[in-house]
Amino acid sequence: MMESAVHLCNSCGEQVGLDANGEVFVACHECYFPICKACFEYEINEGRRVCLRCATPYADRAKDDDDSKVSGHQSTMAAQINVSQDVGLHARHISTVSTVDSELNDESGNPIWKNRVESWKEKDKKKKKKKAAPKAETETPIPQEQQMEEIQSSEASAAEPLSEIIPIPKTRLTPYRCVIVMRLIILGFFFHYRVTNPVDSAFGLWLTSIICEIWFAFSWVLDQFPKWYPINRETFIDRLSARFERPGEPCQLAAVDFFVSTVDPLKEPPLITANTVLSILAVDYPVEKVSCYVSDDGAAMLTFESLVETADFARKWVPFCKKFSIEPRAPEFYFSQKIDYLKDKVQPSFVKERRAMKRDYEEFKVRINALVAKAQKTPDEGWTMQDGTSWPGNNSRDHPGMIQVFLGHSGAHDIEGNELPRLVYVSREKRPGYQHHKKAGAENALVRVSAILTNAPFILNLDCDHYVNNSKAVREAMCFLMDPVVGRDVCYVQFPQRFDGIDRSDRYANRNTVFFDVNMKGLDGIQGPVYVGTGCVFNRQALYGYSPPSMPSLPKSRGCCCCPSKKPVKDVSELYRDAKREELDAAIFNLREIENYDEYERSMLISQMSFEKTFGLSTVFIESTLMESGGLPESADPSMLIKEAIHVISCGYEEKTEWGKEIGWIYGSVTEDILTGFKMQCRGWRSIYCMPLRPAFKGSAPINLSDRLHQVLRWALGSVEIFLSRHCPLWYGFAGGRLKWLQRLAYINTIVYPFTSLPLIAYCSLPAICLLSGKFIIPTLSNLASALFLGLFLSIIITSVLEIRWSGVTIEALWRNEQFWVIGGVSAHLFAVFQGFLKMLAGIDTNFTVTAKAADDAEFGELYMIKWTTLLIPPTTLIVVNIVGVVAGFSDALNGGYESWGPLFGKVFFAFWVIFHLYPFLKGLMGRQNRTPTIVILWSVLLASVFSLVWVKINPFVSRADSSTISQTCISIDC
């Protein structure tokens, strides 16, 4: 089909046909979208006078089909269509049509299948004729002038893009790239000098330093080159409204399902979760298009009761937010703002209503805090509900599935009589002996529940502590996802993470500004940013494992990037997965195009395509996956939806299916976010980074040292797990050739960075060893060597300055990021490497505790809190050892005379480099009262004593000759 000259319509699947001149019919001369003349005329009659793909108006073609215009473009059009088919444009539709066509035309094919498809098409045509007939009778004529004005205005709005790319100015980007290339050249000369000039007197130290420096250069390349083409983006929300929210017409904006996940209400306070839910319910988006699903993976009655109170308070809070357009729409953070709340508020009743709302919120907080206080001690017989029955989730590891619809189901309205968004409580079933896959399993359960109850085409997932800070955030994402050109191949739109409650100096780099404002902008210019776990809007079809519409065809042969191999090299597993996707895509096309089919025909088709083996044994859910634009199937029984939703969250539903392997959030790592985004982009999808001026979402970060290190440990362990799995970017996903090389480098960097801890801790120990032993890793410097060292340091500084220039980050943020890279590298990353190997090789799993999400009453109270953890030992030891080394070095210089001061400065420089990088750790270790856990001091002193004994054993102050002379003198003395 791909190589034939027969062109099929992308709407009905029939042949495009010929025009009056006998040439292939073409509707749009901009993108040559394949559509037959009948479908083209139908679109014109319906008032849709723009191309379905590129939104280019073709009203002139509808008015007068000038043969001279067509003939002038026929040869070009035919060539363009052939080329577009060869490169795989709309491969999803073409491949599915070709499958149906081959089944219909194959003489050896199944006649029952052929007759079924033909009967379905006949039913579909009759149904369309019946619908068109009464419509023509009831339509009233519209004045021609008014019709022309409406057509012109709609065409103008449809042609305008919903977003645009703003590239970094060349005056900023070109010098940045030049410095990167210069730095690579300097590194080449630097390593040539280091390798060809060994230090014979300290060969072991020199070899260790060379290995560490080579690894640092490699990791710098992995981190730097994905930032080769950074971009910015701008959205046009007004154009989105003009296109999909026209006055007098039904709203055409796509529906969105919000996912909020929580586990332990005692560590993730219900008040924080309630604020997140309230900000979602009050979002600036059509009410009927919003649904909020809260996953309680701990089955806590406290979470359930807090949602009851939240749903009741939402009836007052939502209309207040929309009436006065307040920001943010999380009450805790709105009322805590230290700004003039009367600014830009002209309604006279605002002050009165705000005071009343604040009083209501304080009462709401009192009720929530009372529930929390009551839940501190669990009764011996377990919790009971108001009707006297036992709470089903008393055993958090053995309980049935629970679903409760709070709002939007029984016509719940706010105090002003307006409809409210849907709010659903979900707690999936858990039983002993089943693998539940933690957060990834909970998210997949929400995917299935939401598909049964609402089935919105897009999903936005948030952590329980990330509230909606910008009420128009969903509209920002829709500017990409609903754009007919941009959104076709977009699997998700990622927003940056922003945080509240962090100290001004950001001591532990909690804001991750360098990653979100530098690295992610660079990835946006390639294939898109990585998925970071929260604040992300997904295309539901991408979560189902489908390939994008313009999926490139699989290469027939593959070799190196420069010289393709003549022999075909195929990955059997990849080809099998692609074949399964083509089967699913074919079934989707058949069921989408054929509307009127009975239950027997539907069950026959679903059984034939083996959907149950992929999605599980739920007919309602399988039918929902076939609806690309969302919505519930017509055959779904509303009275049975809750029962079906309970079925799809049962603990055994995912057995022998593709959930967690090819569908939904991917299992196999505690950082399921990186793995899920990686799988999508390996299929050919791309992502988009959206940075509105007002941050879309804000969250709470663990700001004390211990929680921050445990958070970094969890991320690093997930990267090590991916590195040791079959999904490692070093070897996974090459068969399709859909992951770009710079994007692959970025994913490789996300999984190998924990291994930098090994050379980093060795390199941080070298200054102390050199000072204690009197040796150095660098020989006496020549003029050339001095120039190389100077050039390397200057290139590092200039690269950082230019990054600051095009990204907008501050010098302080860059320095904090550098400091915590060392702190986390010598502690959390080091432990993650060993724990990852223990888990993969010995099966020893590490259970992580959820980091606290709320601060103390005092400002930055948690900043000074010190909790004992073994992660504190390595950095403390490095600080003590380097301080001891500096003291020993100065003592040696004082004894050695004037000549020993020159080599001392180089050693002391590197020792202070380590100490300055670990200074935030040292400051955090002291706490508010400058107290350090006793166990940390004991371990650090013990390790430092070992190094001191080694120094005494080496005895750098006295040469061997002098020591022998002293020993002989001592022997000759008669005691």
Quote the CA–CA distance of 189 and 187 in Å, as a whole number.
5
Residues 282, 278: Cα–Cα separation, whole Å: 6
Residues with catalytic roles: 297, 673
Tell me the three-class secondary structure of 117-128, residue by residue: HHHHHHHHHHHH
Question: How far does the chain reach from its first CA to its final CA, in angstroms?
Answer: 105
Q: What whole-number distance in Å separates Cα of residue 676 and Cα of residue 95?
A: 26
Is 707 annotated as a binding-site member? no
| 426 beta partners | 295, 403
DSSP state at residue 519: I
Rounded to an integer, what distance in angstroms lies between the CA atom of residue 449 and that of residue 399?
Answer: 18
Instruction: Name the nearest CA neighbour of 778 among 916, 879, 889, 905.
Output: 905
- Report whether 297 belongs to an annotated binding site: yes
The helix (H) or strand (E) run that includes residue 232 is: strand 231-235
In angstroms, how far is CA 285 from the centroid of its own chain? 23
Tokens of 344: 């830009």
Measured between alpha carbons, how far is 368 from 304 in angstroms, rounded to an integer?
11
Whether the CB-CB separation of 226 and 746 falls below 8 Å is answered with yes
Q: How many CB atoms lie within 10 A of CB 118?
A: 11
Q: Say whether 149 counts as a known binding-site residue.
A: no
**Residue 613 marked as a ligand binder:** no
DSSP letter (8 states) at residue 597 = -
For residue 328, whether the previous peptide bond is cis, meaning omega lies within 30 degrees of 0, is yes
DSSP structural state of residue 841: I
Asked if residues 832 and 826 have their Cβ atoms less than 8 Å apart, the reply is: no
Kindly give the interhelix angle for 934-954 and 757-773, rounded to the nearest 10 degrees. Answer: 50
Cα–Cα distances in Å, from 295 out to 303, 304, 464, 664? 10, 10, 9, 16
Class of residue 617 by CB neighbours under 10 A (exposed 0-12, middle 13-18, buried 19+)? middle
Distance between CA 721 and CA 728 in Å, rounded?
9
State yes or no: 438 annotated in a binding site. yes
**What distance in Å separates the CA atoms of residue 599 and residue 576, rounded to the nearest whole number?**
30
449 is written with which tokens? 């529940």
Residues 705/866, Cβ–Cβ less than 8 Å: yes
Is position 261 annotated in a ligand binding site? yes
Is 571 part of any known ligand binding site? no
Rounded Cα–Cα distance for residues 206 and 428 (Å): 57
Q: Where are the alpha helices (DSSP H) in 17-169?
A: 37-45, 59-63, 67-71, 74-87, 91-105, 111-138, 144-159
Residue 509 CA to residue 817 CA, distance in Å, equals 6
CA triple 68-73-75, angle to 5 deg: 120
Cα separation, 807 vs 820, in Å, equals 20
- Give the closest residue to 676 by CA, choosing from 360, 937, 444, 358: 444
Q: CB–CB of 401/626 below 8 Å?
A: no
Residue 74, number of CB atoms within 10 A of its CB: 17
Annotated binding site for Mn(2+): 439, 463
Annotated binding site for UDP-alpha-D-glucose: 261, 267-268, 297, 438
